Structure 1
Amino acid sequence: MFHVKHRVIIIGSGPAGYTAAIYLGRAGFNPLVITGALAPGGQLVNTTEVENFPGFPEGILGPELMDRMREQAERFGAEFLPADVESVEALPQHDGHPQYRLTTSDDETLETSAVIVATGSNVRKLGVPGEEELSGHGVSYCATCDGFFFKDKPIVVVGGGDSAFEEALFLTRFGSSVTLIHRRDSFRASQIMVERAKADPKLTLVTNTVVTAITSDEPSPTVADATSSVNSDAQSGKAPAIKTAGVSLNIGSGIGLTKPGTETADKPAIKLPGLGGNALGGGLLSGLSKQPQKHVTGVTLRNTVTGEESTLDCNAVFVAIGHTPATDFVADVVERDADGYITVKGGSTVTSAPGIFAAGDCVDRTYRQAISAAGMGCRAALDAQSYLE
């Protein structure tokens, strides 16, 4: 156990947390960012390509976007602690400000004058076979983020509230068909949303039905399979041939694989479809995915009344059964609503506790976008700066 004093601590490392760290770092506060013990970067680290974040016209991978934000915050003096915050405790005032003690999952205690909570929310999941494995490969929790990728494809939406209907209606812009599946015979959504859905010819409503599994196509060869083959041939003295997306390459044949933009007359760049343009050159198989690339092909369904099972072909499953804000650890110090979202004053990020600010999906139940979270992180940093000064 030991104590470290920081003027401001940011809890959470998604777009809101990192943006707050950038602003506070530039203002000279050298904030400490408690990133989370297992998966720094928030929900975007679990996404594939992000196409709607300004400044990246060609799109950017979610993990890369979070890495860039972190590097930018680090450039301006932010420090990072890979841990979870277990509790926040109010302490007596010092220099006219209340103080707070944070206890982490490593039993470390940290004291500070200001806290920005940017812990986001967790999507509620179905918990069925195939869901985890296919997340980012046809299973999604955000229609605005991923709907575009399923143009002219059959889509399934799971849920029965306004959010589910909003997502289903939005997805009719892209999918060849949209089927909304709900476990009960009546919907929690408002009547106007239900009527709009019924009036849409591309949208089908299925009630008294649950998804019991999400199915996929056959996985492509893994990097381990390819490496094993290469090692076997290398031991025999043969130069193995690798086929990728219709391109056959013979290792040791003299062909030079170079990065696009650095090609020469005798070493042309070769872009391999499906590998994001990565060349195999110096890092053998470095462009190959380390995980099997599966894609959703359908869902298995069960009727909750009759027990009858069936299957439905689709290429995407959007799960819209709600979110759970990650705010339990501050329940004793700030006000929250009935669903656990931290309440703030007006359009600010000011909570009920002096010196504690909140931003991102732990506050926002409506938009839940990376760009809106980043904007709120900016506001939280400015609110905290004004408070401390």
Structure 2
Amino acid sequence: MTMTKQADVVVIGAGPGGLTAALYASRSNLSVIIIDRGIYGGQMNNTAEIENYPGFKSVLGPDLAKQMYEGATQFGAEYVYGNVTQVEDQGQYKLVHTDDGDYQAKAVIVATGSDHRKLGVPGEDQYSGRGVSYCAVCDGAFFKDREVAVIGGGDSAVEEGIYLAQLASKVTIIHRRDQLRAQKILQQRAFDNPKIDFVWNADTKEILGDDQKVTGVRYVDKVSGESHTLPASGTFIYVGIDALTEPFKNLGILDEKGWVKTDDHMRTAVPGILALGDVRKKTLRQITTAVGDGGLAGQEAFNYIQELDDKMKQKVAD
């Protein structure tokens, strides 16, 4: 029978936010276990070059991930592989279930992040990081004075299209309907921008490229049935984003769309359970914002455990 491992804090997710939370909690002399189903660093490992993280003019994603991991574990935090299936609130303790065993902790920090919905077309995975992107703020600078395509028609697609227009020579927004779904004010800004064009009623079929990078997008006109190719050096995809929160549905800490609800201190409605980074509903999903959340969550875990221990001591004394 597998024994339940114990720690003061369990951090679920080893992206930049989770690693920062582990750093702050372990530096406060708490025992910390970090659980992730993949390699530490999260999406940083899929980013060739990061140019907007303070302290670095430019740094490779995997290199920054390694440095963050080394910093997070220097005070004793332990990193383990595991797929978390559920978290139980047992009052003073929380029970974290994984495929490989259970973990008991006084505080749990949810840092599982979110995932961009994919088109599921040929070339999307092949050219990911080589012209296919899901973040204009992250990668837009690589396409300065070049033509790019944005796929989608909601707020994110239009906002990112407007952002890209400051950098690219031309932005073409490809949408499967005959009108945008974005807020009217965003639509008007895009329509008024001379560097933004639109392709309507377009069903994207393939991301095209050569041996090295993206060269264009193939789509079919849903009205005429004709196939067209749009030349583009980069393709930015915005067809939705989902929080990775399936294991936490039983806790009552999610909103109607699956995002974890927290206050400004990263606290959820369940005492001792905190959440940070991209798993929260927020407007900017960046390494810097995740790190900021992580510092708050790690410190708040320490504060919560201190209060919990004081109450237990008082109870014994009484």
TM-score (normalizing by structure 1): 0.77
Q: 1:34-64 CA deviation, whole Å, 9 max, x = no partner?
A: 022x34321111111000000002x111111
In the other structure, the counterpart of 1:85 is 84
In the other structure, the counterpart of 2:20 is 19
In the other structure, the counterpart of 2:311 is none
In the other structure, the counterpart of 1:306 is 224
In the other structure, the counterpart of 1:214 is 207
In the other structure, the counterpart of 1:73 is 72
Contact 1:334/1:342 (CA < 8 Å) preserved in 2? Answer: no
Q: 1:241-275 CA deviation, whole Å, 9 max, x = no partner?
A: xxxxxxxxxxxxxxxxxxxxxxxxxxxxxxxxxxx
Q: How does 1:88-237 map to 2 (within 5 A)?
A: 88-91=87-90, 93=91, 98-106=92-100, 108-217=101-210, 219=211
The structure 1 segments of at least 4 consecutive aligned residues displaced by more than 4 Å after TM superposition are none
Secondary structure in 1 aligned to 2:172? strand
1:305 is displaced (CA, Å) by 2.2
1:133 is displaced (CA, Å) by 0.9
Q: 1:191-223 CA deviation, whole Å, 9 max, x = no partner?
A: 111111111110001111021101111x2xxxx
Secondary structure in 1 aligned to 2:122? coil
2:244 aligned with 1:329, yes or no? no
Q: How many residues align?
A: 305
Rounded Cα–Cα distance in structure 1 between residues aligned with 2:7 and 2:31: 8
1:7 is displaced (CA, Å) by 1.0
2:265 aligned with 1:355, yes or no? no
1:350 is displaced (CA, Å) by 0.5
Rounded Cα–Cα distance in structure 2 between residues aligned with 1:364 and 1:326: 12
The amino acid across from 1:355 in the alignment is G
Unaligned runs of 5+ in 1: 220-293
The amino acid across from 1:302 in the alignment is V
Secondary structure in 2 aligned to 1:55? coil
1:384 is displaced (CA, Å) by 0.8
Secondary structure in 1 aligned to 2:251? coil
Rounded Cα–Cα distance in structure 1 between residues aligned with 2:68 and 2:75: 11
Rounded Cα–Cα distance in structure 2 between residues aligned with 1:144 and 1:364: 18
1:147 is displaced (CA, Å) by 0.3
Contact 2:40/2:69 (CA < 8 Å) preserved in 1? Answer: no
Contact 1:30/1:76 (CA < 8 Å) preserved in 2? Answer: no
Q: 1:130-172 CA deviation, whole Å, 9 max, x = no partner?
A: 0101000000010000000001111000111111111000001
TM-score (normalizing by structure 2): 0.94
The amino acid across from 1:100 in the alignment is K
The amino acid across from 1:118 in the alignment is A
The amino acid across from 1:35 in the alignment is D
Q: Which has the larger radius of gyration?
A: 1
Rounded Cα–Cα distance in structure 1 between residues aligned with 2:155 and 2:106: 40
- Greater helix content: 2
Q: 1:99-121 CA deviation, whole Å, 9 max, x = no partner?
A: 11111122x01111100000000
Contact 1:35/1:41 (CA < 8 Å) preserved in 2? Answer: no
In the other structure, the counterpart of 1:52 is 52
